[in-house]
Amino acid sequence: MKILVIAPNYKPGSGPANSLYFLRYINGSKLLFYSNSILSKDEDGMRVLRFPNMNHYVTSRVVKHIVHKFRPDYIISISPEVMIRLKEKELERSVVILQGVLEPVLYKFDPLPSIRVSFVYPEILYISRGMTHAAISMYMYRRINQIFRPKKVDLIYNPIRKMFFKLGDERVQGGLVDCDRCKPRLLYVGVLKRLKGVDKLIRFFPSVLKEFRDAELHIVGDGPLRGYLTYLVHKLGLEGKVFIHGYMTDFDLLKMYSITTLLVTASYWESFCLPVGEVAASAIPSVVREMYALREHVEWGYAVGFKEDSGESFVRAIGKALDNYKKLALRGYEISRKLFYPSVVAERVLKLLVKL
């Protein structure tokens, strides 16, 4: 089986790259086409074909040439905008795993609200009807059907890397305990930008400290908001309580998860939210803003949601998570193995491919 993987925005450790983690569990000849200079060697058993970062019109010509030369049995893509020059018979052998915002999202931008407007290339609306889509959440499944109306959509979920399942095994075998009197060590992992609501976590934190005096907030990630977040910590007098760590390697991130009580996010939009899936596999509960795909983690029973954009609502969700800590942690540990284990996701994708 020859598989061409089209992923110009592939970056190891990112959400789009993680959605392809299942590929190492699929046998066959795999060629990864992407356009940045981060990878220095072949990855996940794939030959790597690098290309300079260009606009999608230029890149689509290169993709057309690669398809004709490589002659893949199947095409898997996280970048449908670069497939606009492929023929109908080639699109029929393609599976697209969509990432990113599909619709306008309203989020708070103090002192006024701001709208993040989604952008979908018009060409995608045309070619998507000839392709099969793989959705990484129920929310994406519904919206892909409503927006693109493709010939087929299957639900595969996002794969979670095995190191997080190993941490979950260690925590469960070591004996999980209830956390009603523990020191809440809260963790945010992700890009530091407004859409992710990370500034709200800091603004909520004085309310958290009124209820949980020993609480700490640790922020892992980088992005355009980092300087402002540092200023906000100083402005609110939260030095020694809120820590901004920047980017972490997988090894350091795993260590951070191992000493975390709860993962927290006030993100205004998510198509899946990879860190919530990672901590679920690690037997760690989450507190999330209950909207879009984040709502599914609450419905599955391993995360607690808050709806109001207030410190009080956030604190109530933390209290509920701590009161039901062991139950939430075990639920995440069990559900993640059924839905997010990489070999399980690979089986779903294989079934999808053979039906093309």
Q: What is the pLDDT of residues 119-132, one digit of tens each?
A: 566 667 767 777 89
pLDDT at 44: 55
Confidence at residue 38, expressed as pLDDT on a 0 to 100 scale: 43
Please tell me the predicted confidence (pLDDT) of residue 58.
85
CA distance 89 to 124: 16
pLDDT at 149 over 70: yes
Pairing of β 105-109 and β 112-116: antiparallel
The architecture in CATH of the region 162-339 reads 3-Layer(aba) Sandwich (3.40)
- At 171-215, the pLDDT tens digits run 999 887 777 667 899 999 999 998 899 999 999 999 999 999 999
Domain at 2-159+341-354, CATH homologous superfamily? Glycogen Phosphorylase B; (3.40.50.2000)
Does residue 20 register a pLDDT over 80? yes
Q: Which residues contact 81 (CB under 8 A, 6 or more apart)?
A: 56, 60, 121, 123, 124
Judge whether 2-159+341-354 and 162-339 match in fold.
yes
pLDDT exceeds 50 at position 46? yes
Q: Which tens digit of pLDDT belongs to each residue from 225-249?
A: 999 999 999 999 999 999 999 999 9
Domain ranges of the chain: 2-159+341-354, 162-339
Q: Are 222 and 189 in contact (CB under 8 A)?
A: no
